[in-house]
Amino acid sequence: MMILDVRSERQVLKALIHYINLRCRIDDIDRRFLSQESQIIYDIISKKRDKDPTLILMEMYNRVERFDVDDVDLVSENEANNLIDSFNRTLRNKKFRFLLNQISRAMEKDNMEMEDATGKIMSFLHESSSGFKYVDMKQANMLLKQFHTDVWANKSKKLHWPFRYFNTVLNSLRGKELVVIAGETATGKTSFMLNTADRWAAEGKTIGYISLEIDVVDLKNRIHQKDFDINLSAESEKLSEEGRYLLNDAIDKTVDQKMFFCDSGVRSVHEIIAGIKLMNMLHQFDVVFIDYLQLMSCPGKQSKDAEIGEIMGSLKALAMDIKVPIIIASQLNREVGKNDKGIPKLSNLRESGTIEHSADVVILIYRPILYNKSQSLNEYHAIVAKQRNGKTGTIYMDFNMTRQFIEGTGTSAKCKEELSPSLV
């Protein structure tokens, strides 16, 4: 079974012949899934991986009659790396689908229990994990140049924040980030998460949403609440006939959105990570949300601080592995009430040291009305307290509690001062 077409196979082999530095990746290619002719070329390159290209070409011409390297163009090292990655990604997906078909047939015949099926899937995910990899300076330079080339050509996979004014303070997400959304009880952490996820889903992004305390029906009700003043979770019977029609119509309009929910109640960080890897393999996420951190568990840790540290470290490693940003909600401790006007700080994060250390971005949610009843009910602040390679500051927002809808209204003076033109 071939994974790449013949032309792509030959492009990879030609690149392996010409680029000595690229040959460190030859073992990444499973020769069994190459064409018969390509397997011979692969074996020659593998045995002579430290030899000059001329010696490889001489042996190749002696053993293979039909292969002509001039049949295809010589691609760049970076393009060859991408072809190898595509080969492995496609092969892994095919193997996974084959495994699922095997499990399905076995379970239909009552020859496999659910625990055994789960074990096989988890084992596959573990074995197919990317593991420890390294690149030399030349490869690092190629990756960096490709990154900037994609940005300049507007081909970057950056994920821009979907609220007004957010992108004047926050950098876009490009994968691998761990973002913490922290706030006290009743500040609207889940509303922020759902508003963000809903807007990205409407833009065509693929979303994973892991909820540890709210089921999918309530999550969907909160998403559609933006169009209704009646509480959809508790009072939908009060909707008029027109309201019921509008609700069903709004629900139907989201049918093609690529948003995947998990409300299974699983709290073990290891099971959650395995589940995210499985879902990502099937759906290729643009971003994953987890609501929320303190409900997750990591068996075997002696203290909550150690447990949170392990969870955060594992989630950061996951984001790096699957190259997808992870956004997780977190609680603030009760000490926040002692701050001036109750404005939260990084030190108010529960288990703050371990959370702050692992997070790339920390956004603290603040509602002034909780500490001053004369303030507007709708006033809502997103305080960017930490951002690697970026700004900090406050983004002012409007929060319609009835409709659970959030919108940006402006930024702090500090942020505006930092928006001076950059050097070119």
pLDDT in tens, the chain (424 residues): 556 677 788 888 888 888 887 887 888 788 888 888 888 888 888 888 888 888 888 888 777 766 556 677 888 877 888 888 888 888 888 888 888 888 988 888 888 888 888 878 877 776 665 555 666 787 778 878 887 887 788 777 789 999 988 888 999 998 889 999 998 888 889 999 999 999 999 999 999 999 998 899 999 999 999 999 999 989 989 999 999 999 999 999 999 999 999 988 788 888 888 888 888 888 889 999 999 888 888 876 767 788 888 899 989 999 998 899 999 999 888 788 788 888 888 888 866 677 888 899 999 999 888 888 888 888 899 999 999 988 899 999 899 888 989 888 877 645 544 443 333 3
Q: What is the three-class DSSP state of 287? A: strand
How far is the C-alpha of 176 from the C-alpha of 278, rounded, in Å? 17
Residue 70's nearest CA partner among 78, 60, 79, 81 is: 60
How far is the C-alpha of 288 from the C-alpha of 259, rounded, in Å? 10
Sign of CA dihedral 109, 111, 117, 123: negative
Q: What is the three-class DSSP state of 147? A: helix
Burial per residue of 350-362, b for 16 or more beta-carbon CB atoms within 10 angstroms, e otherwise: bbbebbbebbbbb
Residue 180's nearest CA partner among 349, 407, 406, 318 is: 349
**pTM above the 0.75 mark?**
no
Q: How many CA atoms lie within 13 A of 172 on its CB side?
A: 10
How far is the C-alpha of 332 from the C-alpha of 355, rounded, in Å? 11
166-417: CATH number: 3.40.50.300
Element containing residue 297 per DSSP (H, E): none
CB–CB of 157/175 below 8 Å? Answer: yes
Beta-carbon contacts of residue 117 (< 8 Å; ≥ 6 apart) = 103, 106, 107
Element containing residue 50 per DSSP (H, E): none
* pLDDT tens by residue, 29-53: 888 888 888 888 888 888 888 888 8
How far is the C-alpha of 149 from the C-alpha of 136, rounded, in Å? 20
Beta-ladder partners of 65? none
How far is the C-alpha of 41 from the C-alpha of 68, rounded, in Å? 11
CB–CB of 328/293 below 8 Å? Answer: yes
First to last CA, the chain: 50
What are the residue ranges spanned by the domains of the chain?
6-77, 166-417
How far is the C-alpha of 144 from the C-alpha of 132, rounded, in Å? 20
Print the SS3 string covering 213-272.
CCCHHHHHHHHHHHHCCCCHHHHHHHCCHHHHHHHHHHHHHCCCCCEEEECCCCCEHHHH
Beta-carbon contacts of residue 197 (< 8 Å; ≥ 6 apart) = 207, 209, 259, 287, 289
Q: How many CB atoms lie within 10 A of CB 235?
A: 11
Burial per residue of 48-61, b for 16 or more beta-carbon CB atoms within 10 angstroms, e otherwise: beeeebeebeeebe
Amino acid letter for position 9: E
Distances (CA, A) of 18 to 59, 60, 79, 293, 346: 14, 13, 13, 49, 52
Residue 359's nearest CA partner among 313, 320, 395 is: 313
Beta-carbon contacts of residue 123 (< 8 Å; ≥ 6 apart) = none
Distances (CA, A) of 412 to 308, 362, 378, 381, 392: 31, 17, 17, 10, 10
